[in-house]
Amino acid sequence: MLTGPLSRAARALVQLTRERIAARSGLAVEAIEAFERGLGDLGEDEKARLASALEAAGAVFIPENGGGAGVRLKFTRSETRRIATLEGEGGVVADDEVP
């Protein structure tokens, strides 16, 4: 479930102003500001539109899993390719002999 603090964190991660995310979600800037500051609430449809706009910009919402809900950036295609390359480069797997 999208909360004001999660919305604010996601917006910071994707580096979008309230004005830009308002234009992308079709919501009023004032409604987003009030929601993020805890001074107002959005309807379920409005929260879904805001979350969709943030996800389209690169935010990934992490559901509550006992440690709290969160948000992170999704990997780009080039980052995904680099990770796959690095994971496939290894040799024989063994324990490190680090004291």
Per-residue confidence in pLDDT tens, the chain, 99 aa: 899 999 999 999 999 999 999 999 999 999 999 999 999 999 999 999 999 999 999 999 988 876 778 898 887 777 777 777 777 666 666 666 665
Quick one: CA dihedral 28, 18, 33, 52, positive or negative?
positive
Do the domain assignments include residue 46?
yes
**Cβ atoms 26, 20 nearer than 8 A:** no
Number of domain units in the chain:
1
Do the domain assignments include residue 99?
no
Do the domain assignments include residue 76?
yes
Q: Give the CATH number for residue 42.
A: 1.10.260.40
Say what the pLDDT of residue 5 is. 94
Do the domain assignments include residue 97?
no
Altogether, the residues listed in the chain come to a count of 99
Q: Report the mean per-residue pLDDT for the chain.
A: 87
Question: E strands, the chain, where?
Answer: 59-62, 70-73
Number of Cβ within a 10 Å radius of residue 72: 13
Say what the pLDDT of residue 68 is. 79
Supply the range of the domain harboring residue 32.
Answer: 4-88
Q: Is 47 helix (H, G, I), strand (E, B) or coil?
A: helix
* Cα–Cα separations (whole angstroms), residue 43 to 46, 75, 80, 94: 5, 30, 35, 53
Do the domain assignments include residue 98?
no
